[in-house]
Amino acid sequence: MVSRPLDETPAAAATKARPSVDREHGGATKSSAVRTEPVLTTALIIGDIQHGITSNYPFTKRVVPPLTELLPRAREVGVLVVFVHFALRANGADLPPNNALFRTFFEAGDTFHEGSAGTEIALPVAKEDIVVLKRRGSAFAGTDLDLVLRASGVTTIAIAGVATSAMVAATCYDAADRDYEVTVLLDGCADADTAMHDFFMNAVFPSRGFKVLPCADWPATNTQPTS
């Protein structure tokens, strides 16, 4: 409840309470013109670029140079960088039954066991970056990724990582279902089957309304609002 002096009229009180207008900024109120930091509306999500994968699947190494070059540029313009890595509990508690593919991952020594060196990110991670652990294909499945993005005000995402027909595709579909605007980074993704990679990039993703761009063309210089 807001009180006012007894000798002050309601009209006078309303005038004092009304936000002052900054005529030098197109009539915007002074309070709305003050911004302490830019709002993060764009995120870069990089999935499954981890040591156990890049050391065992040669095709994945192709994405490391373009993504390494992209990361400082993205951070410089205020993009929220999110690394998503895959791991299963060593006791198999989160291993899906009757799933031969995940069984193969689980039985590959400790390469995909949570806490092992193989699950560590194979790209430079900055202190301001976000790291999310996942246990399924999509970066959203069973994780707090959506919560983190919405808490940061993100509405647009670019997706990179491996494999194009697996993690990348699953994450794109999940993101679209959550109403994010999606861009896929052409040379920031790779697949063991080159023809499959090309099919998704040239046909599937564009047909779903996803933009497909090379890392060198992303992000645009106006990706983030100015402070």
Residue 22 has pLDDT above 90, yes or no: no
Domains of the chain: 42-217 (3.40.50.850)
List the one residue out of 80, 62, 59 whose CA is nearest residue 187: 62
Provide the 3-class DSSP secondary structure of residue 195.
helix
| Single-letter amino acid code for the residue at 133 | L
Query: What is the rounded distance in angstroms from the CA atom of residue 39 to the CA atom of residue 79?
Result: 10
Which residues on neighbouring strands pair with residue 50, listed in sequence order? 121
What is the reported pLDDT for 142? 96
Give residue-wise pLDDT tens across range 53-105: 999 999 999 999 999 999 999 999 999 999 999 999 999 999 888 989 889 88
Whole-number CA gyration radius for the chain: 23
Confidence (pTM): 0.80
